[in-house]
Amino acid sequence: MASSVPETMRAARLVAYNKPYEFQTVPVPSINDNEILIKIAAAGFCHTDYQVYQGVYKSPTLLTGCHEPVGTVAAVDKIAARNFKIGQRVGMLLFKHACGKCDGCRVWKDSAGKPDIRMCEAKQMAGLSQDGGFAEYAVADAEQAAFLPESVSFEQAAPLMCAGSTVWGAIAGAATKSGEPVAVVGIGGLGQLCVQFLKALGHPVVAIDNRPEGRELATSLPEKLRADYVVDINDENAVADIKKWAGLGGVSAIIVCTDRLSANQWALSIPRLRGTLVAVGLPSPELDGLLQSDAFQLVFSELTIKGSLVANKELLVEMLALVAKHGVQSFITTVAFNDMKKLPEMYMNPHLKGRLVMKV
């Protein structure tokens, strides 16, 4: 089933690492079993996209980047047609097609008993290993696509497909009880959403950043969703002040939303006994030692250090419901499709606030 879909489309392609995207006219991708074709309305640019641009993931060139696209359903195959119709507003996670056979698929299941695609060793990834959303159309795995609430615009929905789902998955991994204080380190595209999610879930939140732009963002969120306490990580009294604010020796959990090694290491100074640190920022591979912890502190305080990848479909649906209920929003800067080449340079601006979103 398909709407009126052209044979070709424009796409911003990565032709070589660290080189400007090149606009090309390419065939509109065809869909296979249990896939949907999305007419792109908006697509986010994030840290992973910049690392793809740098060649960190050794992604193929040519490649259409982006793993944060949203839009409307333009075509569905017979299987996907059971759940999706032409014209519906949808967003997609980057993962595609769990193999169901590898160790990850056999061991890790979602609540419905299906393989948790995040752990699949053979999964495909839009924008990293396959073409993504910096184009007029993109293909999604129907199992990894979700309907967008009508109250959420395309521009606001795009960052939720990666930034939002990443921190939502991290919050789930932290497994803290409502009412327990949580720290968010790094208030950028991910951190601004993490603060709002935690507040909506009933947590007191301290937002921590070394940049005035990040601290300003934490205080400019909607009143009911903004951080209770904002701290400059470079303040010599920061650790003591946070522990005093949190009580009981420190925060219950820390979500680290930056790739800065120093911030990740510093964050281990503020949890209470049996606290949890969840790291979602990814330094470049050549920077070893994400967390160089004090073994005595780790053991005697029984701390937990976890990595978190991104939410799965089940968690994504929960997150979108919370976004609609509480009015969660990102601070975004929109860029026209024809200005795509500017995105890597804009992303590296140290004064950037929030998220970059390409609007078709």
Identify the pLDDT of residue 281.
Answer: 85
Contacting residues for 264 by C-beta, under 8 A, at least 6 apart: 185, 256, 258, 279, 281, 290, 291
DSSP string, 37-56: EEEEEEEEE-HHHHHHHHTT
Identify the pLDDT of residue 164.
Answer: 98
Identify the pLDDT of residue 289.
Answer: 52
Q: What residues does each domain of the chain span?
A: 8-161+331-359, 164-307
Asked if the domains 8-161+331-359 and 164-307 are classified in one and the same CATH topology, the answer is: no
Distance CA 46, CA 334 (A): 13
Identify the pLDDT of residue 296.
Answer: 84
Identify the pLDDT of residue 262.
Answer: 87
Distance CA 77, CA 315 (A): 25
Tokens of 299: 């053991």
CA distances to 44, 208, 314 from 72, rounded to whole Å, are 16, 37, 20
8-161+331-359 CATH pick, 1.10.1660.10, 3.30.1330.40, 3.90.180.10, 1.10.3720.10: 3.90.180.10
Residue with tokens 């299987």: 79
Tokens of 22: 């090149």
**Positions in the chain whose pLDDT score sits under 70:** 1-3, 284-293
164-307 CATH pick, 1.10.3720.10, 3.40.50.720, 3.40.50.2300, 1.10.760.10: 3.40.50.720
Tokens of 33: 């079993």
CA distances to 10, 17, 125, 282 from 57, rounded to whole Å, are 24, 11, 11, 12
Distance CA 86, CA 3 (A): 7
Nearest alpha carbon to residue 195 among 162, 223, 153 = 223
